[in-house]
Amino acid sequence: MPLLPILFIDAYDSFSNSIIALLEAELPVSVTSIKIDDPRFVLNDEAFFAFLHEFDAVVAGPGPGHPSHAQDIGLIAKLWTLSDEHLLPVLGICLGFQSLCLAFGARVERLKEPRHGIMSMVTHRGKDVFADTGKVVATQYHSLHVKIETDGKVPSFWELSEQCPELMPLAWDLMNVSNGPILMAVRHCEKPFWGVQYHPESICTNEQGQKLIGKWWAQVEMWRAARPERPAKALDSITANTNGFEVLVEEPKTARQVIWRRLDAARPIDVARLVDALRVNKAAVDSLLLESGSRNGKQVNPETGRFSIIGLPESTSEQIRYFTSTRVLEISSNGDIQSSKSANIDEAFSTLDAIVRENKASGGPEHIPFWGGPIGYVSYEAGLETIGVPPRGAHADRPDVWFVFIERSIVIDHKEQSVYIQSLRSSDSSWLDKTDSTLQRHLNTTEPTIPPPVITNPPITILHAPQKATYCAKVSTCQSHLRAGSSYELCLTDQTTLSTTSSAWTLYTRLRTRNPAPFAAYLHLQPPTTGPSLSIVSSSPERFLSWSRTGECQFRPIKGTVKKGPDMTRKKAEEILASPKETAENLMIVDLIRHDLSGVDGVTAVHVPKLMSVEEYPSVYQLVSVIEGTLSPSHSGISVLAASLPPGSMTGAPKKRSCELLQEIEEGKPRGLYAGVIGYLDVGGGGDFSVVIRTAYSWSDDKTEGKEGEGVWKVGAGGAVTVLSEIEGEWEEMCGKRESVLSALM
């Protein structure tokens, strides 16, 4: 049986792809998606109505803003004016629901208490799209609600009102005391229009709440059966206005071979001491370190802390750099720039993917996630470019994408207490022998060959720090936007600037000792010719995205943190993290990431194996969720990375509108590396990236005026602002996250 065509009109929401996935999973349909401002139709009603003729039904999606604002609602408003000739069934969800009700006489007003990521029981009478439906528990994402006049008595909730005589109420939220009754669903009495306020696609909407989709389709089929069939047009004439980045994998003619050795250690492996041993023997000078162990060499987190990677670049190593301010993509090798051209962020990702494919390798140890390939970062501003938000304030000589291709590497398996020496060079046995000898001396002695470093604390000077009054005012501004319906959650941030004479490696050894994390990193990146170098010291606890060689993708967002203290127990932390504010923050990001992942070509089976689980770390308890999906072998993991930036846990939702608002609230200051991602692309086919938080970074051209030998460092911190946030609490949360880095560096 052929799939029937449905049109989805996307109002730039961050849950749209999950709705499309739900439609295609539950119904015998194929969904085409267009934006509310599709230029083919905005000023051409005739073309739009002709386009609608290709479909059996339409779903008008959720989004930010107000249904009375043309720029927020766009093409959705045209649906309610369809003549009998063009009439077809429509389901409005959230903003689409509000637009439907507004068009037929209702008012749309602000809620006293917005419902963002809040779950509630929905009352219905088992009729129409709720036929044969049990208890509905549904997730709400709205600051506005539909107001129709009732006399406040329960029977009148189910009757037509004088104000809206064409809209039949189908469901209500009667559980919220502050807001009073909230209309949850309607249908038009004469036209095939339905609307629902809650989000059926949310991970926390129960199965009964999701049944609405199938019940709506049953109503669609009944309506269509009662009408003469419209002449069908060829489905291949339906074209969506699509954008974005996609990579189809092409196998190289011949794969490179990984040569490698395994060494077993007599004791837990301290990665920093291992790097020091390599330096003493001049086997490494500026290694790139992605560390997942604690100071005693044991795993910080059994799920994510098994492997540490030491990349060993050389001055001749290939580098890929992209600058958002000038839109220049630069490729260099052998210490010279080989190519410099105008480009965009999609071309930068395509180039990275091509380089990985050209160097496709085999023969490495199967369970080791990195055999070689690019190690580096993508800045927050580069992430903004991927979603069509013009970056502001980026420096012309500071790359927003910077990767170094690693041919030689050392990977530590903390679980097995083993070390793997690896090279992508076919004739590199002498280097393997030399490195083997160096590491054998270090690993197989009962006492460390390198004495523990003496950690001194040169003074650190704070040059600039957020001011409480200013930050609190920004929190208040965020909440004003949330109450207006412009966003569900805004991740407000700021940066502290400091100076110190300590080296980057000294700062890193302090940070990793005092604030161990499963996604720590030390990177010192040198430009191929001229320009500033960059030092990064990170103790990030959060995986952004990983994908395996077999295509298993995983996101691990953290939203919700409780600092450990003398009086803080796990039970008490779990109670705090189970509060509506903390669970709503986490849920919004989980639903956002499900949307991101569901929108990538070649990704299937998106699911949530872990939802809002409390994990314990050396200094904090954190609320963690895990979202996974499966990537087709014919597609590249880089396409998932490109489709998911910037990290949703650092933006809010809907992502695009939230980022635009945050640019204004944060006064156009670039976040730079902070809130971007750090990680690697493996020539064996995998990849792993962390979110750049709990991190300090320094550009070599950023100097303290009048002080020689001091480096200037930036430390970013922030938090997710919701309508449930307390302004003072947001200030304290930002300071607490910042201090976790500053106190470790001092």
Q: Catalogue the active-site residues.
A: 94, 199, 201
Instruction: For residues 678 and 676, give the distance between their C-alpha atoms in angstroms, rounded to a whole number.
Output: 7
Q: To which H or E segment does residue 173 belong?
A: strand 167-173
Instruction: For residues 607 and 630, give the distance between their C-alpha atoms in angstroms, rounded to a whole number.
Output: 10
Tokens in use for 715?
A: 């430390």
In angstroms, the Cα distances linking 60 to 19, 93, 169, 293 are: 10, 6, 19, 48
Instruction: For residues 732 and 472, give the distance between their C-alpha atoms in angstroms, rounded to a whole number.
Output: 10
Beta carbons of 443 and 266 less than 8 angstroms apart: yes
Longest dimension (CA), the chain: 88
Q: Which residues pair with 464 in a beta bridge?
A: 497
Cα–chain center distance at 440: 41
Residue 551, judged by CB atoms within 10 A of its CB (0-12, 13-18, 19+), counts as: buried
Beta carbons of 371 and 409 less than 8 angstroms apart: yes
Instruction: For residues 18 and 15, give the distance between their C-alpha atoms in angstroms, rounded to a whole number.
Output: 6
Cis peptide upstream of residue 231 (ω within 30 degrees of 0):
no
Beta carbons of 323 and 382 less than 8 angstroms apart: no
Instruction: For residues 362 and 371, give the distance between their C-alpha atoms in angstroms, rounded to a whole number.
Output: 9
Beta carbons of 493 and 671 less than 8 angstroms apart: yes
Instruction: For residues 176 and 115, give the distance between their C-alpha atoms in angstroms, rounded to a whole number.
Output: 10
> Using the 8-state DSSP alphabet, how is residue 456 labeled?
-
- Strands 90-93, 57-60: pairing is parallel
Closest to 129 measured CA to CA, from 7, 56, 219: 219
Query: 3-class secondary structure for 523-565?
Result: EEECCCCCCCCEEEEEEECCEEEEECCCCEEEECCEEEEEECC
Sheet with 193-196, strands from edge to edge, namely 29-35, 4-10, 57-60, 90-93, 193-196, 182-188, 167-173, 107-124, 136-147
